Amino acid sequence: MSGLFNLRRYGASIARHHLLACGGSTSRRPLPHAFGRALHTTAALDRVVSFHLSDIGEGIREVTVKEWYVKVGDVVEQFDNLCEVQSDKASVTITSRYDGKIVKLHHDVDGVALVGKPLLDFDVVDEEGDDSGSSSSSDSSSSDEEDTKAAAQQAGLVAAAAASGKVLATPAVRRIAMENKVDLSKVPATGRNGRVLKGDVLEFLEVIPKGTVKPHPSLVAKEQRKAETTAPLDLKQAETVVPLKGVDVTRLVAVRAELKEEAAARGVKLTYMPFFLKAASNALLQHPILNSSFDEPSESVIYKRYHNISVAMQTPQGLVVPNVKSVEQKSILQIAQDLNALQERGAKGALTPNDFANGTFALSNIGIIGGTYTHPVVMTPQVAIGGLGQTRVLPRFDADGRVVPAHIMVVSWTADHRIIDGVTMASFSNLWKQYLENPNLLMLGAK
């Protein structure tokens, strides 16, 4: 690959140097126009881009570089390991988004790297042109007018491709697809304007795990609307709390006891939390406003089509809030498996940025530390969170008026009142309660 990379990078310069070295003879035969065009040098052949440290989540703003897996001059491919960084919550391996050559490392080992700032620089072949997470550091002599023309030309190409039904993809991606006999029209695209990326093809071929490639922000939002509210713009002033006196989970306790041994036989530890997550997901289908985010600059609400439910958990590194992906598509057993995996990685300090990314709703279980009541804090840009208290055995009256023991759990909800009113939050709470008090309802339409 190194030889091919150098040829593509320096081929035009070598050819130009050879022509100039031939002397200034006026009798030299002029180059054909097409050949002359083929020899020009342009920023489209190669560019230097800065790879920025992306948001790791949990409000982390800086990390320590513990180890570099590359050095200046190394040629890497997309998804190759670049370095390992350590925060006060997790150890994370950073992988490459590009095919290219390392030209600069911005930090030494044990140096502090800031989120959103350059981590290292690449010399890359500019094939995709849609890496919004990086910024070009090469000098540019083009004017604003030329930039505008280039943008218009790109938009025209996208529109033309869409009209013709042609799949947007780079030559490198098409080559991978051709070698593996993959129809690009069947590959889910995550790039800007519906472009199929290299990672999309690798996921389709199951070379890398599903969900490794994050969709471009333009594809994430299902729907966006202007927030219609007269509530204060400050979240702290706009929080609304909906306390719930108690959820009778007596039936759920019996159901979980019946399924616990079967789940253990399959190697899965079944707790109550997977039931809570599935009940929340089912209720979110009826109240999608709670599965959204609020964009303050534009005062817009962004609805999410997936239910990535964040779960607060205690680890040796402190309290962390990773999320279980796509809960709406999973069974209770699958949710339990994913939750167990998150807890194992958390205990080892091996949670990754993907574990924290794109959360849409949150639950915090203070019952495991003996808490009964809480006022959970919304994790922006999410708009709602539930606080689960300890389940206690309390006396209750049954249908015949007799006093019987019941398992009661107290729950409180906090929502962003700028877009969610108390009635919506209470309606969601009642539906969630209904699913848990009648757990057989979770089996209807279970995936």
CATH number at residue 289: 3.30.559.10
Does 11 fall in a domain? no
Told to judge if 130 belongs to the known catalytic residues of this protein, a careful annotator would answer: no
CB atoms within 10 A of CB 302: 19
HSE (side-chain half, CA atoms, 13 Å) at 234: 2
What pLDDT shows up at residue 257? 93
Angle at the Cα of 176 (from 172 to 181), degrees rounded to 5? 140
CB atoms within 10 A of CB 61: 11
221 and 243, same domain (yes or no): no
Told to judge if 126 belongs to the known catalytic residues of this protein, a careful annotator would answer: no
**Structural domain harbouring 198:** 167-225
Does 291 fall in a domain? yes
Domain finish residue from 225, 247, 271: 225
250 and 371, same domain (yes or no): yes
243 and 220, same domain (yes or no): no
384 and 273, same domain (yes or no): yes
Does 141 fall in a domain? no
Domain finish residue from 225, 247, 266: 225
Q: Which two tokens stand for residue 259?
A: 């399924």
Does 24 fall in a domain? no
What pLDDT shows up at residue 269? 94
What pLDDT shows up at residue 96? 83
Angle at the Cα of 425 (from 302 to 405), degrees rounded to 5? 140
Q: Which residues of the chain have pLDDT under 50?
A: 1-45, 126-148, 150-151, 154, 220-233, 235, 237
pTM of the model: 0.55
Q: Which two tokens stand for residue 54?
A: 């992306």
User: Contact 412/241 with Cβ under 8 angstroms?
Assistant: yes
205 and 117, same domain (yes or no): no
The single residue of 130, 248, 295, 421 carrying the catalytic annotation is: 421
117 and 259, same domain (yes or no): no
Does 317 fall in a domain? yes
430 and 281, same domain (yes or no): yes
**Amino acid sitting at position 249:** V
116 and 171, same domain (yes or no): no
The single residue of 52, 307, 407, 417 carrying the catalytic annotation is: 417
**Amino acid sitting at position 52:** H
User: Contact 123/46 with Cβ under 8 angstroms?
Assistant: yes
431 and 318, same domain (yes or no): yes
Q: Which two tokens stand for residue 104?
A: 């600069």
323 and 182, same domain (yes or no): no
Distance between CA atoms of residues 416 and 395, nearest Å: 35
220 and 305, same domain (yes or no): no
Does 362 fall in a domain? yes
Q: What is the domain-level CATH number for residue 206?
A: 4.10.320.10
Name the H helices within 266-378.
273-286, 332-348, 353-356
Maximum pairwise Cα distance, the chain: 112
Domain finish residue from 93, 124, 155: 124
Domain total in the chain = 3
Among 67, 72, 71, 69, CA closest to 86: 67
Does 32 fall in a domain? no
Per residue in 7-38, pLDDT (tens digit) is 444 444 444 444 444 444 444 444 444 444 44
What pLDDT shows up at residue 285? 93
Distance between CA atoms of residues 341 and 419, nearest Å: 34
54 and 192, same domain (yes or no): no
Rama region for 62: left / alpha / beta (φ>0; ψ in -120 to 50; rest): beta
Does 153 fall in a domain? no
Q: What is the domain-level CATH number for residue 62?
A: 2.40.50.100
CB atoms within 10 A of CB 121: 21
**Amino acid sitting at position 116:** G
**Cis (ω within 30 of 0) for the bond into 405?**
no
User: Contact 394/406 with Cβ under 8 angstroms?
Assistant: yes
